[in-house]
Amino acid sequence: MQVFKYSVWFCCFILIIGCKKKVTQEVVYDNVIYELNPKSIYLTNAQKNKQKNESQYHSIVYSDLYKKTIPNNQLSDLSNLSLAFGDKQVFNELVVSNYMNDAQVIIPSDAQMRGDVEHFIKDTYLRFYQREPSELELYYFKNLIENDNSVTAEMIYYSFTISNEYQFY
Amino acid sequence: MKRRTFIRKAGAVAAGVVAAPYILPSGRLFASTGARLVNHVVYVVFGGGIRNQESVGQQYLANQGLVTQGNIMENMLSGVAPSSNIVYDQWAPVLSTKLAQQGTLLKKMRYSTGNTGHYNAHAVAMTGSYISTGINVNVNPDVPTLFEFYRKHTDPSKSAINAWWLSEGLGPYPSLNYSKHPLYGSSYGANYLNAANLFSAQATAYLSNAKNYHPDELGKINDIKGFLDNNFKDVAGGVGVQNTEENRENIKQFILDAMEDFGGGTGEVATPGSNYALLTGDLLNISASWRVLDTFAPELTVINTTNLDVCHDDFTGYIDFLHKADYGIGWLWDKIQNHPVLKDDTIMICMPEHGRNLEPNTIYDSNGFRAYDHNSDDNSRDVFALIAGPTGVVNQGTEFDENDYPLSGAALPECIDIVPTIANILGFGDSIPQGFLTGRNLGEAFV
């Protein structure tokens, strides 16, 4: 009888435990920023055969330097301003060098660049050319940065944005 | 020394060194080819559409039902200014000797064929060919421009820093610095600038903080860019006229300096007392053109004025802008004659791109004056040309009217004659292949 009594109490306990409502907490994040790891799009630069138009150039160079989209009005203003110049390269160089004086442009410090030169070079190629550097390119920049203390990350970024390959996709 | 000052002085010294061997005992300058008349030409497409009645005709308000006549272009033309019914701000002339006295006035030139639209007529004036394009088509012309003839056929060939085109407005005008012609094109084009945009708030916002890299930094940047470019098969095309690296840097510095000076109100402008409040679009363009001339002393500079096209609905404004554009031309010539390189070695040619109709349209302005369009009527095909230059090179104080033609067998001048005339002045006329230009050298203007 005593055993039966304990068994009833045990079954009731199991039932109470077993019937406990399962509570699921759902957390909704509304400010999550998904980032992409830089990914190589081109195996070689020979795959680039279309020249960017002016609007594409200014849109892309802004995104590459600020890591955000160029405001529409700024893109429109730049397109209009470029008409005032016969030599578009002069105009582009002025625009990019103007960005270089802006504190919001995202450029590694020289210490960061020299702290991991190979990473900086690979990151720069991915950022501006969307491809990995070749062995020769890696060697050239490694040699340049390690042997010339006056070379800055800004100089390298600026050179990439005004280079011929950067004009193509 | 500011870099701008250095560039200017270095340019002046270099030009002086080049010119010095060709100064003859007579004091007259000759270019190295021996065929040049002078080494610099400033061609003003004195545009917007000007009727000969109000310019060389000096009829002022005579066609508005008032008897008042007079010369409202006191820098360019001889003649007394109107003394009554004054509807424009009368600015005292800059020049004590009128440009017409310092050169030859061709009182009637013809724009023989094609529509009298601004772009089409500019294209005719700058290519030396009657072509027919839409009024507002923003495309490079099919036939070579004056700039391309100059750069390709001058021996040795000239870099782009020697050829400039500065327009008052944008629209289709930026396309006139080179053509689509397969034998010419952007490789032989001119530098182009539009002052109104260049010195705007937008330009200040996006360009004025541009870096002026130290030459050592630039050297490294160019080395890196050179390496990157060597590893890529293509060269970016369609980027307009191209300058050398050195000239690009000089142009960038020029632009930044000019933006700073004009933006700060310290740059000299073509108004009485250099008063910025009096600036018009035309006068800003003339002021910017002077900066180019002063800094680079180019051999071939083409500029335009267009403000007086308000004549479509504002005859009073047309008179005022015409008077002010004339002031700007006088101011520019005065500057040229005080420049160490350009003085006595420059010929300036002014010609409206086309005229305006004989009959007014139906619009009256605030003074009750009738407005004029330009619809290719016969009157809108009449323009004038003024060719001013050094004594001994350009005939001084000479005038030719339609009654003087045919002149020694030569026909009445036409708008397409200016390009071959400039080609002759700068000594490359004989090098242009047959068939490109059908106009003639306006030899009657020269000694």
Query: Does residue B27 register a pLDDT over 60?
Result: no
Q: What is the mean pLDDT of residues B273-288?
A: 97
Q: What pLDDT is recorded for position B364?
A: 98
Cα–Cα distance for residue pair B312/B170, rounded to 1 Å: 19
* Residue of chain A minimizing CA distance to B236: A164
- B251 touches A: beta carbon within 8 Å: yes
Asked, for residue B197, whether it belongs to a domain, the answer is yes
CB atoms A164 and B232 under 8 Å: yes
CB atoms B174 and A83 under 8 Å: yes
Q: Which residue has the higher pLDDT, A159 or B6?
A: A159
pLDDT tens per residue, range B37-81:
999 999 999 989 999 999 999 999 999 999 999 999 999 999 999
* Chain B positions in Cβ-Cβ contact with residue A93 (cut-off 8 Å): 210, 248, 252
Q: What pLDDT is recorded for position A3?
A: 62
- B235 touches A: beta carbon within 8 Å: yes
Instruction: Please choose, from the candidates A25, A33, A93, A32, the residue with its C-alpha nearest in 3D space to the C-alpha of residue A57.
Output: A93
pLDDT tens per residue, range B383-423:
999 999 999 999 999 999 999 999 988 999 999 999 999 99
- A145 touches B: beta carbon within 8 Å: no
Domain count, chain A: 1
Q: What is the per-residue burial (b if ≥16 Cβ within 10 Å, else e) of B336-357?
A: beebebbebbbbbbbbbbbbbb
Q: What pLDDT is recorded for position B234?
A: 76
Q: Which residue has the higher pLDDT, B2 or B218?
A: B218
Read off the pLDDT band of A12 (50, 70, 90): low
Asked, for residue A8, whether it belongs to a domain, the answer is no
Cα–Cα distance for residue pair B47/B318, rounded to 1 Å: 11
CB atoms B207 and A86 under 8 Å: no
- A135 touches B: beta carbon within 8 Å: no
- CATH label of the domain that carries residue B353: 3.40.720.10
Query: Does residue A109 register a pLDDT over 50?
Result: yes
- A116 touches B: beta carbon within 8 Å: no
* Chain A positions in Cβ-Cβ contact with residue B189 (cut-off 8 Å): 86
Residue B19 near residue B279, CB atoms below 8 Å: no
Asked, for residue B134, whether it belongs to a domain, the answer is yes
CB atoms A97 and B192 under 8 Å: no
Residue B398 near residue B421, CB atoms below 8 Å: no
Q: Which residue has the higher pLDDT, A46 or A155?
A: A155
Asked, for residue A22, whether it belongs to a domain, the answer is no
- B230 touches A: beta carbon within 8 Å: no
Distance between A88 CA and the closest CA of chain B, angstroms: 5
* Chain A positions in Cβ-Cβ contact with residue B230 (cut-off 8 Å): none
pLDDT tens per residue, range A59-88:
999 999 999 999 999 999 999 999 999 999
In chain B, how long is the greatest CA-to-CA distance?
Answer: 74
Q: Which residue has the higher pLDDT, B20 or B447?
A: B447
Asked, for residue B26, whether it belongs to a domain, the answer is no
Q: What pLDDT is recorded for position A9?
A: 74
Q: What pLDDT is recorded for position A31?
A: 63
What is the rounded average pLDDT for all residues in chain A?
87
Query: Does residue A20 register a pLDDT over 80?
Result: no
Asked, for residue A17, whether it belongs to a domain, the answer is no
Q: Which of A86, A88, A159 sits opposite B228 (nearest CB)?
A: A159
Asked, for residue A25, whether it belongs to a domain, the answer is no
Q: Specify the pairing of strand B40-46 against strand B346-351.
A: parallel
Q: What pLDDT is recorded for position A14?
A: 63
Read off the pLDDT band of A40 (50, 70, 90): confident
Query: Does residue B24 register a pLDDT over 60?
Result: no
Q: What pLDDT is recorded for position B22?
A: 35
Q: Which of A45, A84, A162 sits opposite B170 (nearest CB)?
A: A84
Read off the pLDDT band of A34 (50, 70, 90): low
CB atoms A90 and B202 under 8 Å: no
pLDDT tens per residue, range B213-259:
899 999 999 999 999 999 888 777 766 898 998 999 999 999 999 99
Percentage of chain B lying above the pLDDT 70 cut: 91
Percentage of chain B lying above the pLDDT 90 cut: 83
Q: Which of A31-40, B97-106, B266-275, B333-342 bottoms out in mean pLDDT, i.e. has the lowest?
A: A31-40
Q: Which of B209, B220, B255 sits opposite A151 (nearest CB)?
A: B220
Q: What pLDDT is recorded for position A39?
A: 75
Domain count, chain B: 1
Asked, for residue B22, whether it belongs to a domain, the answer is no
- B298 touches A: beta carbon within 8 Å: no
Residue B355 near residue B382, CB atoms below 8 Å: yes
pLDDT tens per residue, range A147-167:
999 999 999 999 999 999 999
Q: Specify the pairing of strand B40-46 against strand B163-167.
A: unpaired
Query: Does residue B317 register a pLDDT over 60?
Result: yes
Q: What pLDDT is recorded for position B25?
A: 30
The residue with tokens 């491809």 is: A131
CB pairs under 8 A between A and B: 140
pLDDT tens per residue, range B339-367:
999 999 999 999 999 999 999 999 999 99
Asked, for residue A99, whether it belongs to a domain, the answer is yes
Distance between A109 CA and the closest CA of chain B, angstroms: 17
According to the 3-state scheme, what is the secondary structure of chain B?
A: CCHHHHHHHHHHHHHHHHHHHHECCCCCECCCCCCCCCCEEEEEEECCCCCCCCCCCCCCCHHHCCCCCCCCCCCCCCCCCCCCCCCCCCCCCCCCCCHHHHEEEEEEEECCCCCCCHHHHHHHHHHCCCCCCCCCCCCCCCCCCHHHHHHHHCCCCCCHHHEEEEECCCCCHHHHHCCCCCCCCHHHCCEEEEHHHHCCHHHHHHHCCCCCCCHHHHHHHHHHHHHHHHCCCCCCCCCECCCCHHHHHHHHHHHHHHHHHHHCCCCCCCCHHHCHHHCCHHHHHHHHHHHHHHHHCCCEEEEEECHHHHHHCCHHHHHHHHHHHHHHHHHHHHHHCCCCCCCCCEEEEEECCCCCCCCCCCCECCCCCECCCCCCCCHHHEEEEEEECCCCCECCCEEECHHHCCECCECCCEHHHHHHHHHHHCCCHHHCCCCCCCCCCCHHHEC
Asked, for residue B7, whether it belongs to a domain, the answer is no
Asked, for residue A43, whether it belongs to a domain, the answer is no
Interface test mutation site (partner A, options B228, B246, B248, B254, max chain A beta carbons within 10 A): B228
ipTM: 0.87
Query: Does residue A144 register a pLDDT over 90?
Result: yes
CB atoms B190 and A86 under 8 Å: yes
Q: What pLDDT is recorded for position B4?
A: 46
* Residue of chain A minimizing CA distance to B248: A90
pLDDT tens per residue, range B411-421:
999 999 999 99
What is the rounded average pLDDT for all residues in chain B?
91
According to the 3-state scheme, what is the secondary structure of chain A?
A: CHHHHHHHHHHHHHHHHHCCCCCCCCCCCCCCCCCCCCCCCECCHHHCCCECCHHHHHHHHHHHHHCCCCCHHHHHHHHHHHCCECEHHHHHHHHHHHHHCCCCCCCCCHHHHHHCHHHHHHHHHHHHHCECCCHHHHHHHHHHHHHCCCCCHHHHHHHHHCCCHHHEC
Q: What pLDDT is recorded for position A89?
A: 92
Structural domain span for residue A125: 49-167
Q: Which of A24-38, A113-127, B193-207 bottoms out in mean pLDDT, i.e. has the lowest?
A: A24-38
Could you give the count of Cα atoms lying within 13 Å of B297 in the half-sphere of its Cβ? 24
pTM value is 0.87
Query: Does residue B95 register a pLDDT over 80?
Result: yes
- A139 touches B: beta carbon within 8 Å: no
Structural domain span for residue B433: 36-445
Distance between A80 CA and the closest CA of chain B, angstroms: 8
Chain A segment 13-72 residues within 8 A of B by beta carbon are: 45-46, 48-49, 51
Q: What is the mean pLDDT of residues B286-290?
A: 98
Read off the pLDDT band of B3 (50, 70, 90): very low
Q: What pLDDT is recorded for position B26?
A: 30
- B159 touches A: beta carbon within 8 Å: no
Q: Side chain identity at B112, as an amino acid letter? A: S
- A155 touches B: beta carbon within 8 Å: yes
